[in-house]
Amino acid sequence: MQGMSLSLAVTAIEISATIAFALSGLLAAARARMDAVGICIVAGVAAFGGGTLRDMLLDRRPFFWVDNPGWLWAVLLLCAGSMFFLRLNHFTLAERAIQWADAIGLGLFTASGSQIAINAGMPAIVAVLMGVITAVFGGVLRDIVCNEVPTAFRDHRPYALCAFCGGWVLVGAHALQAPDWVSLLAAALTATLLRSIALLTGFTLPSWSQEPPAD
């Protein structure tokens, strides 16, 4: 019963994270003025990219979205409904809207990715890195397809580091034998809150400041 409860919790978090990242991809593609096909592709890449890479590295078959084809329909319906809504209301799409959807997906995918790796018997550091990959890689692909330098690399505000911290919260909660739902919730909230704080305060990580050598 406990295993079934954990599986349902992870699935619920993955669904929520998929929707959040699909929305961030949809907004990014709409902001780049792509057509309907481009919007659906970018939303799908953002939603499924990180989890697909995680499944490849953990040798999980079938991929999570192949095992749950309803998620594909959900993303397509989200794209169709959102495009209609945005056209009808003529919203101006700001980068801030993409960042908030991204922050929510970051936390949720951190928790689910790390938990799936733990379930596969991976060591703690591997589980944490699987959480980071799940949380970050979809956004990286989204930005590349939109012909932008990925947010994870360019704005200097903590991004992957937030997922890294969230993953260790999950590992620590398991070590303390906290209930599974508490562990997942704590990890997701940690990563999302850290990213939200960085967005609100403008806190940045140190950047490489050495000037290039003169010719």
pLDDT digits (tens, 9 = 90+) for 36-88: 899 899 999 999 999 999 999 999 988 888 888 888 998 999 888 887 776 66
The per-residue pLDDT of the chain, averaged, comes to 85
Whether 211 maps to a domain, the answer reads no
Whether 57 maps to a domain, the answer reads yes
pLDDT at 1: 39
Whether 188 maps to a domain, the answer reads yes
Q: Write the DSSP string, 83-149.
A: HHHHHHHT----HHHHHHHHHHHHHHHHHHHHHHHHHTT--HHHHHHHHHHHHHHHHHHHHHHTTS-
Q: Residue 102 pLDDT > 50, yes or no? A: yes
pLDDT at 4: 45
Whether 51 maps to a domain, the answer reads yes
**CA distance linking residue 77 with residue 64, whole number of Å:** 19
Domain with 84 in it? 2-201
Whether 160 maps to a domain, the answer reads yes
Q: Could you check whether the bond before residue 123 is cis, i.e. omega within 30 degrees of 0?
A: no
Number of domains comprising the chain: 1
Whether 210 maps to a domain, the answer reads no
Mean pLDDT of 139-167: 88
- Among 103, 101, 111, 113, residue whose Cα is nearest residue 49: 113
Structure tokens at 71: 């998620």
pLDDT at 43: 92
Whether 208 maps to a domain, the answer reads no
